[in-house]
Structure 1
Amino acid sequence: MGNPMKITVTLLAVVTLLSCTASAETANELALRYNKPASTWEETLPLGNGRIGMMPDGGIDRELVVLNDITMWSGSEDPEAINPEAIGYLPKIRELLLAGKNGDAQRIMYEHFRCGGVGSSGGKSKNAPYGCFQMLGNLRINYQYPHQEAADNYQRKLSLNDAVASTSFTRGGITYNREYLASHSDDVLAIRVAADRRGAVSFELELSRPERATISVKGESLIMEGQLNDGHNGDKGVRYLTKVEIVNKGGTVSAGNKSLSLSNADEAIILISTSTDMLDKEYLATVDRLLERAKRFSFVKMKRAHTALYKEKFDRVELWLGEQDNSRTTDKRLAAFQKEEDPSFAALYFQYGRYLIICGTNERTLPLNLQGLWANQVQTPWNGDYHLNINVQMNYWPVEVCNLSELHQPLITFTQSLVPSGEATAKAFYGAEGWLAHMMSNPWKFTAPGEHASWGATNTGGAWLCAHLWEHFAFSQDKEYLRTIYPTLAGAAKFFLSGMIAEPKNGWLVTAPSSSPENGFYIPGDKDRIFVCMGPTMDVQLIKELFTNVLSAASILGIEDGTTARIRETLPKLPPMQISSSGYLQEWLEDYREADPQHRHVSHLYGLYPSNQISPNTTPELAAAARETLERRGDGGTGWSRAWKINFWARLQDGNRAYKLLKNLLEPTAGDEISMSSGAGTYANLFCAHPPFQIDGNLGGTAGIAEMLIQSQDGYIQLLPALPDRWASGSFKGLRVRGGAEVDASWKNSRLLSATLRAETGGTFRVKVPDHVTAVKRNGKRITVENGYIALELKKGQEARVEFIS
């Protein structure tokens, strides 16, 4: 027999080790937590696999689960969008603009130079050809319990580590557990309902939708099917099918007229299979195939496969700013963040953005729209479409730097798909070559001007999308990919080469007509607020960037043709960025009096971020003007506007100001009213409030945090370029840089300690050395610092660990 004392000590050591391990896991767990059911949709928890999703409210007696499919779009192609009379008015509009009579030009545009038909119907287009992204439907679960005492020990959680949500509580001495997932492996939605006492699981299921839905039961399948409005009162609308079945252990399943019920089971899995015919003409067979396949697996096996696929993307990046405070609910942490320092909450928010990208889209489906994948209405705000004057682009700002490069693909594919429509629009409205898109689009490839010139005249939406095509190359260095996108880039350039005109004062080539997104100005002698103009600063920045990227691509691919020659001839004729007498960057060719100096759009700072034409390092005077512009604009604005300002201040290398904007973005808000002047911030489930919810603010916020930690836009890597004082110690792993590398870094007392670079493609990587560093070692050996930089030559797959010694 062994020594009892030794055995006791060993057992204590094992228990202590297990306790410490569990404690460490809890400290590292990334989760949204709540101690009560959701009372509004903005408190529910989003789940998705990029194609389909759901948001359960965790109700105890009655649970509402809102279902989503990213292809649930009404509308269809609209031949009336091409307005044949518009081009006839173009010469007169340009003549008036050249004469400085913007108001007269605008009045003509309001009446004649707009899309045909109703366009987006003012953002309410569910029954118009433009269409609308819509919720799929509602699954209602009515639970029955053997005891009716009040529930206690209630917990509701969304694990970002696993992409699994859960609800648990105790009632009548029985503990009930539910788990929810949108399977990344099996492409169905699944809900597991269990209890720690046999025979205690009973519920009724109902499906519904506010309109255009037929509900039926066939066998033991609950079915919802229908067709959305194509906008022409025809039969071309998107068709959908949803089937729900119960896989039970014990108990009895029974079918009602429009419901399914389960009585006295030990456990049940609710499986939801759904699809539309937008991208899958075999959608009926798909629904059945996915459902039958899912029924063959246990929930444990499905969950394991789902989590493994999800984690392959999610686990690429880590951000450590301190232990997670999982003792408080997320809504309490959100509120407290305004008053106390909680750096780990910023890390949680950062990873939540990555979670929303991974779960909101995938390589084979549509891009994230204004609401990502999630909606609870059939008429979503602003049609839940693709706004091309910042919003859809902001959705994709984090994907490259946050190591989700393949999830750029839906936006890249969508951009290339717009070319035929964009060519028709260029010819019909401007008599120009190439292609363009204006400020809004949809899956039906809408590229025409919007129905109102105050916001619909912006014609650089396609150019902005092309910046994303280039960014994917900048981070990947994939020349074969570059060859596939070059015609799209060159086609966008051709539109501006053939469509710009010379303004009279300096002979600069400018877009005309155009606008600076949604902001207006006043001209002496005209009482109306003016939006229509020539060559707003954002247009010039976008065109210069596009032209430069085309020339860079052509050089890499060995292309020299008429387009590249015309670009070289045209580039010097573009207007320069101008600084007003008051020190801020001008938004227009002339220093007009702004209608709203604190407007939510700060479009003329596109050159600061996401572009790289304004930099404290290379253009200090313009950077100072950008700073003055931001001071003038203020730190308020809608949710996404606050997120954009985080990125601006990060590019200006002001970490504390960027952090202040992050706190502004995370200001708690409630209510779902549509407003652009109040209530902006963040809802209890950490969805960004425009208001109402728009996902761009979440993803712009994640991009902003990454921009505070790493930058690579000036031809070198800069670590911790905008580190706020509040994040004095921390580390990150797996962030990516232009040129094709992954980077890890750690710091303490606001001083960089070490970094590791892993080359995804061979090359020389320049790294800026912080001023506090006196020596640098690579893999333990001291290396040379030249003019404040080190150069790391790496082959593909090679790694270098660098220590920074103060």
Structure 2
Amino acid sequence: MQTNHIQKLLFILSFLFFYGKVTAQSAHILWYKQPANFFEESLVLGNGKQGATVFGGVNSDKIYLNDITLWSGEPVNTTMNPEAYKNLPAVREALKNENYKLAEELNKKIQGKNSESYSPLGTLEINNHHTGKASNYYRELDISNAISRVSYEIDGVKFTREYFVSAPDKMMIIRLCSSQKGALNFDINSSSLLKFETQIKNNLLSMNGVAPIHENAGYEVVPTFLLEKERGTRFTSLIKIKNVDGTLTSSSSSLELKNGTEALIYVSIATSFNGFDKNPATEGLNDKSIALDNLNKAFSKSFDKLKQNHISDYQKFYNRVTLNLGKTTAPNLPTDERLLRYSEGIEDKNLEVLYFNFGRYLLISSSRTLGVPANLQGLWNPHLHAPWSSNYTMNINLEENYWLAENTNLSEMHLPLLSFIKNLSVTGKVTAKTFYGVDEGWAAAHNSDIWAMTNPVGQFGKEEPMWACWNMAGAWLSTHIWEHYVFTQDKNYLKNEGYEMMKGASQFCLKWLVEDKNGILITSPSTSPENQYLTPDGFVGATLYGGTADLAMIRECFDKTIKASKELNVDSEFRVKLETALSKLHPYQIGKKGNLQEWYFDWEDKDPKHRHQSQLFGLFPGNHISPLKTPELANACRQTLEIKGDETTGWSKGWRINLWARLWDGNRSYKMYRELLRYVDPDGKKTEKPRQGGGTYPNLFDAHPPFQIDGNFGGAAAVAEMLVQSNENEIRLLPALPDAWESGSVRGICARGGFEIALEWNDKSLKKVTIFSKNGGETTLISGNKNKAVRLKKGKKLEIIW
């Protein structure tokens, strides 16, 4: 009897543990005591192409559906402003004459169209025919296996739902169960904010529609959008129920299960997008047949098989890295309550680990489609008119999305961006010629979209140059190619694809540079992303020459291209040109406040605490400024950050944490990391004292506000940067370890040179390091005042007691 009692107790405990009711405070689980009422409380799933946003309601469960390839528009007309470049001499002349007001107006003539928009695909609604009141509600997202669960009880019956979006089976799966036979009664329907129609045939709910052809002018909400026959990306959503028991019926708009005990819902979606240069209407993929084929293949498989396929595929990426930041005394609270508690300054090390893990989860879930990287909202957009079109903003946000790709061991997730850069290099050749009069290489500007648009935006002269006229995206993005190579040592990629893109970006910059009155190379015209200067006579503008950010990005672009050229032993003559140009670039200037100047002159910023810090590019994500190599410039970077302060938007805070880490100031990095995890109320939630500003929403999404995913990625990348920093020759271990992380361990962090690192530390001192070489090579390990040279053969590892 006693044995049976113990077994029963163990069974109950294991059941409760599975559903999260009795768990240790988790570094892998987000959980809540109530359904989501707002998007910023929902839980997101994705396989890198198909996305689902789950609210987990009791009577009605709303699920937003996305496909990362569903955008407005069609292939971009690269020759939209064929003679724009003819305005350049007048802009340069106005700048030469120090007539900044005139230069600002003339610069508007070098503009094109705005980007297209990422579109929401639709909404799936599960209506549960409950009669009683729910109790013991529980909702979770387990990011260790990318599965979300909901459970609750009504009149003694336990209802559970389990959701995942599978990459191998290209499908969303939802399992619904009741603890009492025949208690499961629900119907499902789907709709879209886009033009759509639904039909039901043979118990298959299909929704077909089309994305609009339009430009979201100025990112304003427009009441209508243009639809044209034979234009626009088509989409298909197919939904089918597999019932174990009960009766399956359908109406003209919904599928219904009566008196069931267990059922599976299969959700298959596809679009006609067939590449950035193919008309999705006339040259598109057959979205209907793709969705149906995927559905039929998955429908024949059991739930256990589908789940096993999904978990094994996902965990081969997620399980590469484990992080432990030491003992915690924080209680096991729902994630929203946990975040509120943490925002009061209370310790919760596992929440800090969870946020890091969540960043990696989001990248795996949103970046697995070649040519279509994660956008401003990753993969999850519920809005017809998304903030900033949920596009690719390339003066920081797109790049920040990928800062964690290589160093947190997710190199494969970098490939969608790298292949997108290849697309940009095609359209960018035309942009270089028609907008900038440069007949070599390629250029890209402030915004892009799925069509690899590269022109400067601004609606042909209607927008402000402070953001619309920036043209250094090619220089910045090209450095990602070198990063991928130096982390992976994939010489075939560098030789066959990467180098030509890097060379093209450098060719453009080389031709774009002009001499100032002292014969020094500068850019003209120039802007510093989204910032404005204040001249001594009171003029506020953005158009100048020789902006520090431009030159920092060109330095980094040239430096990496030179290294790639040497690595491949090609283009020695071109390499010399780059080296010569590097030596003639306008040098960094330290201003009267001890700051790193943003402008050619030591002028004030209109907003001294501006969210962008583009002039610090050379410190991070570049690496030609460092406390060791360039101490004066590093100190000037520090002073710039001090002037700007720590209070800023989500993505900007993510960037600043990385910058402080590169200055080897772990405690300042940690202070801002804590601030990044400051609780922010969902958009639209009415409270007496709303908690607003940059920070983190209840579902751990980054609050710009509104939601932008780059802060999640930048924050996660910064944790890795605090623990391991590297270049081609050395690896610094625990370079910015904060006092709060006195003891801990990490496994799987990657370093440049093709190395993988595991660390253990105690009392803020490194105790053990294990280094693994993916391809063979040598490096120097550095921690504190100690260093050790290491040489390893391919596939070998070395353990060192430090």
Query: Which of 142, 160, 164 pairs up with 2:127?
Result: 142
CA gap of 1:714–1:794, structure 2 versus 1, over 3 A, is closer
Q: Partner of 1:84: helix, strand, or coil?
A: coil
CA contact (8 A) 1:725 1:750 kept: yes
How far apart are residue 364 of structure 1 and its match? 3.3
Query: Which of 111, 115, 128 pairs up with 1:114?
Result: 111
In the TM superposition, what whole-angstrom CA distance separates every residue of 1:380-417 from its partner, at most 9, and x where no partner exists?
A: 11011101100000000001000000111010000011
Distance between the aligned counterparts of 1:159 and 1:365, measured in 2?
29
Distance between the aligned counterparts of 1:246 and 1:159, measured in 2?
24
How far apart are residue 576 of structure 1 and its match? 0.9
CA contact (8 A) 1:417 1:445 kept: yes
How far apart are residue 523 of structure 1 and its match? 1.9
Q: Partner of 1:746: helix, strand, or coil?
A: strand
Distance between the aligned counterparts of 2:588 and 2:442, measured in 1?
25
Query: Which of 687, 690, 715 pairs up with 2:701?
Result: 687
| Structure 2 residue 329 is matched with structure 1 residue 318 | no
- What does residue range 383-402 of structure 1 map to in structure 2 within 5 Å? 383-402=389-408
CA contact (8 A) 2:732 2:782 kept: yes
- 2:666 is matched with 655
Distance between the aligned counterparts of 2:26 and 2:157, measured in 1?
30
Distance between the aligned counterparts of 1:415 and 1:174, measured in 2?
53
Distance between the aligned counterparts of 1:214 and 1:736, measured in 2?
48
| Structure 2 residue 116 is matched with structure 1 residue 131 | yes
CA gap of 1:326–1:81, structure 2 versus 1, over 3 A, is farther
CA contact (8 A) 2:119 2:211 kept: no
| Structure 2 residue 261 is matched with structure 1 residue 266 | yes
Query: Which of 686, 711, 716 pairs up with 2:730?
Result: 716
How far apart are residue 18 of structure 1 and its match? 9.2
- 1:187 is matched with 170
TM-score, L = length of structure 1: 0.91
Distance between the aligned counterparts of 1:753 and 1:715, measured in 2?
22
- 1:276 is matched with 271
For 1:621, the aligned partner's letter is E
CA contact (8 A) 2:78 2:455 kept: no
- 2:279 is matched with none
Distance between the aligned counterparts of 1:691 and 1:672, measured in 2?
8
For 2:457, the aligned partner's letter is G
How far apart are residue 229 of structure 1 and its match? 1.6
- 2:90 is matched with 92
CA contact (8 A) 1:28 1:323 kept: no
For 2:50, the aligned partner's letter is I
How far apart are residue 622 of structure 1 and its match? 0.8
Distance between the aligned counterparts of 2:483 and 2:507, measured in 1?
20
How far apart are residue 673 of structure 1 and its match? 7.1
Distance between the aligned counterparts of 2:682 and 2:351, measured in 1?
23
In the TM superposition, what whole-angstrom CA distance separates every residue of 1:192-229 from its partner, at most 9, and x where no partner exists?
A: 11011110111111101123111221220111111112
- 1:66 is matched with 64
- What does residue range 25-104 of structure 1 map to in structure 2 within 5 Å? 26=24, 30-79=28-77, 82-104=80-102
CA contact (8 A) 1:742 1:760 kept: yes
- What does residue range 560-571 of structure 1 map to in structure 2 within 5 Å? 560-571=571-582
CA gap of 1:323–1:253, structure 2 versus 1, over 3 A, is farther
Q: Partner of 1:556: helix, strand, or coil?
A: helix
| Structure 2 residue 354 is matched with structure 1 residue 348 | yes
Distance between the aligned counterparts of 1:11 and 1:420, measured in 2?
65
| Structure 2 residue 743 is matched with structure 1 residue 704 | no
- 1:777 is matched with none
Q: Partner of 1:244: helix, strand, or coil?
A: strand
Distance between the aligned counterparts of 2:12 and 2:790, measured in 1?
44
In the TM superposition, what whole-angstrom CA distance separates every residue of 1:461-517 from its partner, at most 9, and x where no partner exists?
A: 11111010110011011211111211111111111111211111x321111112000
In the TM superposition, what whole-angstrom CA distance separates every residue of 1:49-82 from its partner, at most 9, and x where no partner exists?
A: 0010101111001111111110110111232763
CA contact (8 A) 1:470 1:549 kept: yes
For 1:454, the aligned partner's letter is M
- What does residue range 336-375 of structure 1 map to in structure 2 within 5 Å? 336-339=341-344, 340-364=346-370, 366-375=372-381
How far apart are residue 714 of structure 1 and its match? 7.0
Distance between the aligned counterparts of 1:136 and 1:190, measured in 2?
17
For 1:680, the aligned partner's letter is G
For 2:245, the aligned partner's letter is G
Query: Which of 612, 616, 630 pairs up with 2:641?
Result: 630
Q: Partner of 1:154: helix, strand, or coil?
A: strand
How far apart are residue 531 of structure 1 and its match? 0.4
Q: Partner of 1:628: helix, strand, or coil?
A: helix
- What does residue range 492-531 of structure 1 map to in structure 2 within 5 Å? 492-504=505-517, 506-525=518-537, 527-531=538-542
For 1:190, the aligned partner's letter is I
- 2:549 is matched with 538
For 1:99, the aligned partner's letter is N
TM-score, L = length of structure 2: 0.92
For 2:513, the aligned partner's letter is M
Q: Partner of 1:726: helix, strand, or coil?
A: coil
| Structure 2 residue 174 is matched with structure 1 residue 168 | no
| Structure 2 residue 305 is matched with structure 1 residue 301 | yes
Which runs of 5 or more residues in structure 1 are unaligned? 121-129, 772-787
- 1:768 is matched with 782
CA contact (8 A) 1:638 1:678 kept: no
How far apart are residue 672 of structure 1 and its match? 2.8
Distance between the aligned counterparts of 1:633 and 1:415, measured in 2?
32
| Structure 2 residue 603 is matched with structure 1 residue 592 | yes
| Structure 2 residue 589 is matched with structure 1 residue 578 | yes
Which runs of 5 or more residues in structure 2 are unaligned? 215-225, 275-283, 686-690
- 1:782 is matched with none
- 1:421 is matched with 427
CA contact (8 A) 1:215 1:222 kept: yes
For 2:309, the aligned partner's letter is A
Query: Which of 443, 448, 461 pairs up with 2:455?
Result: 448
- 1:332 is matched with 337
Q: Partner of 2:137: helix, strand, or coil?
A: strand
Query: Bigger shift: 292-301 or 256-265?
Result: 292-301
